[in-house]
Amino acid sequence: MPQLDTSTWFITIMSMIMTLFIVFQLKVSKYLYTSSPEPKSTITLKQLSPWEMKWTKIYSPLSLPQQ
């Protein structure tokens, strides 16, 4: 039964790792990153609705006087 020749495994594995590293670096280098990121403004302008101009009171059935 012939034995498995493992003499080229080291070169094969190292070349695979180098190739993956180079491909990853090329992929990452294509992205454009902003030089100074600034936070977005989260303040929203409140718009008055017609029902907010009136004073209204909602009565819950449990808060009504007992009879």
More confident residue, 65 or 39: 39
pTM: 0.44
Q: Would you list the domain boundaries of the chain?
A: 1-37
DSSP conformation class of 54: S
What per-residue confidence (pLDDT) applies to 22? 97
Q: Phi/psi zone of residue 56: left (φ > 0), alpha (ψ -120 to 50 degrees), beta?
A: beta
pLDDT, tens only, 34-60: 777 677 777 766 666 665 656 556 666
